[in-house]
């Protein structure tokens, strides 16, 4: 049967344009797309979930369109392709890698695998709560160690809190919600020492945004055979949060343990193809990092003008001192069409703001000035 337009012609015609999507080109030549859904969502400017507003990349979009035909097949036969790509880049074998529906599923698997049968979990507070949430759900005890006065994860205090029952230590680096990084040498020393007693999971969801020299991934410890798991995601720099693809790296015996708690076929074929394309799309990653840095510099300027203290961030969000209750602030900003981050107790006078496009940041700044002005006027 002759179809009106075959897949190649469809792609050639530029499916993105055919679907009525507006394309913009960056000075570097990277094209990005404003989709109808993000325009629709501009009823609310989404600065609350640490998403990357510039994606999916053109290459990821093309890969997803090309994968439509594979939609009738189960995807797991293709998992090795993405694992092999990651394995080659990270210099490990594919059996050191597990895929998940976002890195959240990796945290879920770890929380359950190590929280069962009396296992306890140790984590900083506040930090990303995905893992501790699942550990609690299955009845595991979770030790929370407060941050230091300067909002750093307190590795010394965490070390002191470890009991014999602690089976998993969670370290988010860079940390969410603070955006701070741990110095690589100190974290490496901590992981080496602690992983002799228990497993350490280092959540590196924001790894690709970090440019600081004092930062390093802990994947080298996985390579060296330590009891360390590293989790990563395609939701941030790759801008695929809605596609749900993440991965974990660990020794093969640890991967096998996590695998027992994985949902079968949890990564779907469109997500898989998009992730593979995006993983190799270095210009898009550079572009996202650069746009993020521009938005961050702009936000620092706005916060400076309004006399707000902030924690210099290595991520796509900034934690700043609001000086009043963030729940009331969220509501006030929502009335101006801007969604900002949820409360992170005990820092309920602080706000976590995700970085959007420059247009979104300018709209945020306008609303923010109004809300702060009204608050000052009492
Ligand atoms: C530190 C951290 N880890 C993990 C996740 C989970 O992301 P995903 O499941 O989309 O990979 C997030 C999401 O915001 C995060 O901030």
Please give the tally of structural domains in the chain: 2
Q: How far is 202 from 209, CA to CA, in rounded Å?
A: 16
Does the C-beta of 341 come closer than 6 Å to ligand 1? no
Give distance in angstroms: CA of 261 to centre of ligand 1.
Answer: 18
Give distance in angstroms: CA of 322 to centre of ligand 1.
Answer: 24
Judge if 97 and 246 occupy the same domain: yes
Give distance in angstroms: CA of 353 to centre of ligand 1.
Answer: 15
Judge if 229 and 324 occupy the same domain: no
Judge if 142 and 22 occupy the same domain: no
Judge if 259 and 344 occupy the same domain: no
Does the C-beta of 52 come closer than 6 Å to ligand 1? no
Q: Establish if 1 belongs to a structural domain.
A: no
Judge if 36 and 104 occupy the same domain: no
Strand pairing class (31-34; 246-249): unpaired
Does the C-beta of 203 come closer than 6 Å to ligand 1? yes
End-to-end CA distance of the chain: 71
Mutating to test ligand 1, I would choose from 48, 100, 106, 130 the residue with most ligand atoms within 8 A of its C-beta, which is 130
Q: Establish if 40 belongs to a structural domain.
A: yes
Print burial letters for 189-207: b (CB count within 10 Å at least 16), e (below 16): ebbbebbeebbbbbbbbbb
Judge if 249 and 286 occupy the same domain: no
Q: Which domain holds residue 82?
A: 68-279
Residue ending a domain, choose from 279, 301, 335: 279
Judge if 303 and 269 occupy the same domain: no
What pLDDT sits at residue 43?
81
State the CATH number of the domain containing residue 352: 3.90.1150.10
Residue ending a domain, choose from 279, 310, 333: 279
Please tell me whether the overall predicted TM-score, pTM, comes out greater than 0.75 for this model.
yes
- Phi then psi dihedrals of residue 55, to 5 deg: -115, -170
Return the H-helix or E-strand segment holding 203: strand 199-203
* 72: number of Cβ within 10 Å: 7
Which atom in ligand 1 lies closest to the alpha carbon of residue 103? 11
Judge if 267 and 123 occupy the same domain: yes
Q: Establish if 62 belongs to a structural domain.
A: no
Of 77, 98, 100, the C-alpha closest to 86 is 98
Does the C-beta of 102 come closer than 6 Å to ligand 1? yes
Q: Establish if 157 belongs to a structural domain.
A: yes
Of 344, 289, 268, the C-alpha closest to 105 is 268
Judge if 286 and 367 occupy the same domain: yes
Residue ending a domain, choose from 279, 307, 335: 279
Judge if 192 and 341 occupy the same domain: no
Judge if 242 and 293 occupy the same domain: no
DSSP string, 146-168: E--TTS---HHHHHHH--TTEEE
pLDDT in tens, the chain (378 residues): 344 444 444 444 444 444 455 677 777 778 777 655 554 455 899 999 999 999 899 999 999 999 999 999 999 899 999 999 999 999 999 999 999 999 999 999 999 999 998 999 999 999 999 999 999 999 999 999 999 999 999 999 999 999 999 999 999 999 999 999 999 999 999 999 999 999 999 999 999 999 999 999 999 999 999 999 999 999 999 999 999 999 999 999 999 999 999 999 999 999 999 999 999 999 999 999 999 999 999 999 999 999 999 999 999 999 999 999 999 999 999 999 999 999 999 999 999 999 999 999 999 999 999 999 998 888
Of 349, 343, 295, the C-alpha closest to 48 is 343
Q: How far is CA 32 from CA 169, 275, 329, in A?
A: 39, 16, 32
Q: Establish if 144 belongs to a structural domain.
A: yes
Does the C-beta of 248 come closer than 6 Å to ligand 1? no
State the CATH number of the domain containing residue 97: 3.40.640.10
Q: What is the tally of helices (H) and strands (E) in the chain? A: 15, 14
Does the C-beta of 126 come closer than 6 Å to ligand 1? no
Q: Establish if 295 belongs to a structural domain.
A: yes
Q: Establish if 105 belongs to a structural domain.
A: yes
Of 173, 240, 247, the C-alpha closest to 210 is 173
Does the C-beta of 288 come closer than 6 Å to ligand 1? no
Q: Establish if 2 belongs to a structural domain.
A: no
Does the C-beta of 229 come closer than 6 Å to ligand 1? no
For Cα atoms 152, 156, 107, give the angle at the middle one, nearest 5 degrees.
65
* 306: number of Cβ within 10 Å: 15
Judge if 25 and 83 occupy the same domain: no
């Amino acid at each position: 049967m002759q179809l009106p337009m075959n897949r190649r012609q469809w792609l050639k015609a530029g499916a993105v344009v055919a679907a009525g999507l507006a394309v913009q080109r960056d000075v570097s030549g990277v094209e990005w797309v404003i989709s109808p859904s993000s325009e629709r969502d501009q009823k609310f400017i989404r600065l609350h979930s640490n998403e990357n507003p510039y994606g999916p990349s053109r290459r990821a979009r093309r890969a997803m369109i090309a994968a439509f035909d594979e939609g009738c097949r189960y995807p797991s036969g293709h998992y090795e392709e993405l694992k092999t790509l990651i394995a080659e880049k990270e210099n490990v074998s594919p059996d050191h890698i597990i895929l998940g529906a976002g890195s959240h599923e990796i945290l879920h698997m770890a929380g359950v695998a190590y929280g069962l049968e009396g296992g306890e979990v140790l984590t900083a507070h506040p930090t990303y709560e995905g893992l501790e949430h699942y550990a609690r759900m299955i009845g595991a005890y979770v030790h929370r160690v407060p941050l230091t006065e300067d909002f750093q994860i307190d590795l010394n205090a965490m070390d002191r809190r470890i009991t014999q029952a602690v089976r998993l230590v969670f370290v988010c680096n860079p940390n969410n919600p603070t955006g701070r990084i741990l110095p690589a040498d100190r974290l490496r020393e901590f992981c080496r020492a602690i992983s002799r007693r228990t497993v350490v999971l280092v959540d590196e969801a924001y790894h690709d945004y970090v440019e600081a020299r004092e930062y390093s991934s802990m994947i080298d410890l996985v390579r060296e055979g330590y009891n360390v798991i590293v989790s990563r995601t395609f939701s941030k720099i790759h801008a695929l949060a809605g596609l749900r693809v993440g991965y974990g790296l660990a020794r093969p015996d640890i991967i096998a343990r996590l695998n027992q708690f994985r949902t079968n076929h949890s990564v779907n074929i469109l997500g898989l193809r998009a992730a593979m394309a995006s993983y190799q799309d270095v210009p898009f990653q550079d572009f996202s990092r650069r746009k993020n840095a521009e938005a961050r510099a702009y936000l620092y300027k706005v916060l400076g003008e309004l006399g707000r203290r902030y924690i210099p961030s290595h991520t796509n969000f900034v934690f700043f001192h609001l000086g009043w209750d963030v729940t009331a602030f969220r509501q006030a900003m929502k009335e101006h069409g801007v969604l900002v981050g949820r409360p992170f107790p005990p820092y309920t006078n602080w706000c976590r703001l995700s970085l959007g496009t420059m247009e979104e940041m300018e709209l945020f700044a306008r609303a923010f000035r109004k809300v702060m002005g009204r608050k000052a006027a009492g």
